[in-house]
Amino acid sequence: MRYGIQVWKCELVDEATGQVTSTVDLSAVTGLNNAMLSVPPTTLPYGLYRFTIRVELGSMHLFDVQQSSFVRVTHSPIIARIVANGMSEITRGANTVITLSPEQYSLDPDLKSTQPQVG
């Protein structure tokens, strides 16, 4: 006997028209049959999405409802670091050299850690 199910659906929405342009496959996301959905970072490309949860209770459809919410995935700001470990202050004596390498230590949180951080 089935007591209750929750099913998630995710759709990409055209921001100009409000029309659904495609359905997003959430099969790789764990917890699809839970009341809470957690989508890992970098799973969805930038854009506007409609997430819908459908809840059904009872084998005779005693309670069947769905609710939607919109989520916009946007760019995250670059984390700029000019030295290792992102120091905010460096103290050196006279006539010492400091090498600043933002291209080596900065990172883009929207990229996977295995991707090159510099274009």
Where are the chain's structural domains? 4-73, 77-111
Q: Rounded CA gap, 110 and 114, in Å?
A: 12
What is the CA angle 115-108-118, rounded to 5? 60
Distances (CA, A) of 98 to 82, 84, 101: 10, 12, 10
Secondary structure letter of residue 71 according to DSSP: E
pLDDT band at 73, cuts 50/70/90? very high
Q: Count CB neighbours of 10 within 10 A.
A: 20
pLDDT over 50 (residue 1): no
pTM of the model: 0.71
Q: Whole-angstrom Cα distance, residue 17 to residue 14?
A: 6
Q: What is the pLDDT of residue 51?
A: 95
**Residues 41-65, mean pLDDT to the nearest whole number:** 85
The pLDDT tens digits of the residues spanning 11-31 come to 999 999 999 999 999 887 766
For residue 4, give the nearest of 56, 62, 72 by alpha carbon: 56
Beta bridge partners of residue 64, listed in sequence order: 56
The residue among 84 and 55 whose pLDDT is bigger is 55
Residues 87-111 have a mean pLDDT of 80
Write down the pLDDT at residue 118: 64
What is the reported pLDDT for 3?
A: 62
